[in-house]
A = this chain, B = another copy of it.
Amino acid sequence: MERFFSRRARTIRRSVLRELLKFTQRPEVISFAGGTPDPETFPKDELSRIAAEEIARNYAKCLQYSTTEGDTKLREVLLKLFAGEGIEATLDEIIITTASQQGLDLVAKTFIDPGDVVYMELPSYIGAIQAFRAFQAELVGVPLEEDGMDLEALRERIRADKREGRRPKFIYVIPDFQNPTGVCWSREKRLKLLEIASEEDLLVVEDAPYRPLRFRGEHIPSLKALDEEGRVVFLFTLSKILVPGLRVAALVGDREIVSKVVAVKQAADLCTPALTQALAYRFLAESDIAGHIETIRAHYRRKRDAMIEALERHMPEGVRWTRPDGGLFLWVALPEGADTERMFPKALERKVAYVIGTPFFVDGSGRNTMRLSFAIATEEQIEEGIRRLSEVVREELAAVSAAAGL
């Protein structure tokens, strides 16, 4: 069948990560590998009641086709939420997407011609890498530091690309508690990024799934809230603050961009399910969403603290990790020479799992890194799992030292 595939499709491979995840789902494995939120945070009773009511009373709307733009009331309640964050937008500047993964697909389809350059954090979100690669973008990774991207490196790279005749198109970033590292950008770097985008005339795609999940530290404005030129396309999802199973997200941007994205989405799936939009709207409109988010934050803060404490207790010298103030993930770097992919089968033998780092690096680096999610495991499992993982790491480091000594 290969002969029928498009050039694009021939280069698309299934995510290594998703294939690896299959091995981690045996019940005896303590898994830090998943990227999913904890089902214990799902407001199931409220959603069950809302669903029964909505379908019985409002079936002619919630079981029918929706508009491509998305339900007006849902868009209004989201705009109110964003206004509280300093993002001022109107109804023609927002479109509902079938989760943020579709937002990434629509962004790619709307902006990328084969060969166009997209800048991303190194490491960055695998789903974004897949979405952009599917449209034959040239992906350039820019090192991520503790407070955000290395912006001098970004600027130099953009200028070099322009000199060499490439076409820089946009910069994709996850400024809040990034997947995979948990890093949060400083205010200074946010402002500086917008300055560079303006000088170099690029768009910025801001992916903010974890933004509401801050457990400590002070609020830093989103790029979209700081954006004075309409250069920022803002992606927000309900997957982490409500549930992933509805696949409801929103894209906010300049009205000319949103109008084009609506046309592109018409051809992609016509509309996001009316039913899941209706449930999302009713939950946001009727529930104590601020209180719900506060509960979720406390839930993940406890688990994050448990993981940091376990890492401090068990990990050998030379291993470093991030200390995120929000989100679901932290990031571990072993000393150079270690290889988390080689280590993976040994970890599975000890019944602990993580995600290897390399798929998050568009340049194929990061062999000594891994992502740990603290979202799903209990505090007891976190302690035991990190203990097991530390043993595997000790063995790997011993093997590296032995090899270096030869």
- Inter-subunit contact A247/B266 (CB<8 Å): no
A49 within 8 A of B: yes
- Inter-subunit contact A269/B64 (CB<8 Å): no
Which of B42, B127, B134, B270 contacts A270, CB < 8 Å? B127
A14 within 8 A of B: yes
Cα–Cα, bound, A6→B109 (Å): 7
- Inter-subunit contact A68/B111 (CB<8 Å): no
Contacts of A42 in B (CB 8 A): 59-60, 63
A228 within 8 A of B: no
- Inter-subunit contact A111/B246 (CB<8 Å): no
- Inter-subunit contact B39/A47 (CB<8 Å): no
- Inter-subunit contact A12/B105 (CB<8 Å): no
Q: Size of chain A's interface in residues, with CB distance under 8 A?
A: 81
Which of B15, B243, B267 contacts A127, CB < 8 Å? B267
**CB interface residues, A 1-51, toward B, < 8 Å:** 1-2, 4-9, 12-15, 18, 36, 39, 42, 44-45, 47-49, 51
A59-103 vs B, CB cutoff 8 Å, 1 = contact: the mask equals 110111110100000000000000000000000000000110110
Which of B4, B7, B18, B244 contacts A266, CB < 8 Å? B18
Known contacts A63-B39, A63-B47, A203-B4; is-contact A271 B247 (Cβ 8 Å): yes
A113 within 8 A of B: yes
A389 within 8 A of B: no
Stoichiometry, as copies per complex, reads 2
A273 within 8 A of B: yes
- Inter-subunit contact B8/A169 (CB<8 Å): no
A103-122 vs B, CB cutoff 8 Å, 1 = contact: the mask equals 01100011111001000000
Closest Cβ–Cβ distance, residue A277 to chain B (whole Å):
9
- Inter-subunit contact A9/B245 (CB<8 Å): no
Cα–Cα, bound, A246→B273 (Å): 5
- Inter-subunit contact B48/A260 (CB<8 Å): no
A293-337 vs B, CB cutoff 8 Å, 1 = contact: the mask equals 000000000000000000000000000000000000000000000
Cα–Cα, bound, A66→B44 (Å): 17
Closest Cβ–Cβ distance, residue A206 to chain B (whole Å):
15
Which residues in A have some Cβ–Cβ distance to B below 8 Å?
1-2, 4-9, 12-15, 18, 36, 39, 42, 44-45, 47-49, 51-53, 55-56, 59-60, 62-66, 68, 98-99, 101-102, 104-105, 109-113, 116, 127, 130-131, 133-135, 169-170, 203, 230, 239, 243-247, 254, 256-257, 259-260, 262-264, 266-276
Not counting A8-B113, A42-B63, A244-B274, a sample of 7 additional A-B residue pairs whose C-beta atoms are within 8 angstroms of each other reads A14-B263, A14-B266, A45-B56, A98-B269, A246-B275, A247-B273, A268-B268
Q: What are 26 sample pairs from A and B whose C-beta atoms fall under 8 A apart?
A: A4-B257, A5-B260, A6-B109, A6-B116, A6-B135, A12-B264, A14-B262, A18-B266, A36-B65, A39-B60, A42-B59, A42-B60, A44-B56, A44-B59, A49-B52, A51-B51, A51-B52, A64-B243, A64-B245, A66-B245, A101-B267, A102-B268, A105-B268, A134-B264, A134-B267, A276-B276
- 5 closest Cβ contacts across the A-B interface? A52-B52, A63-B245, A44-B59, A39-B60, A63-B243
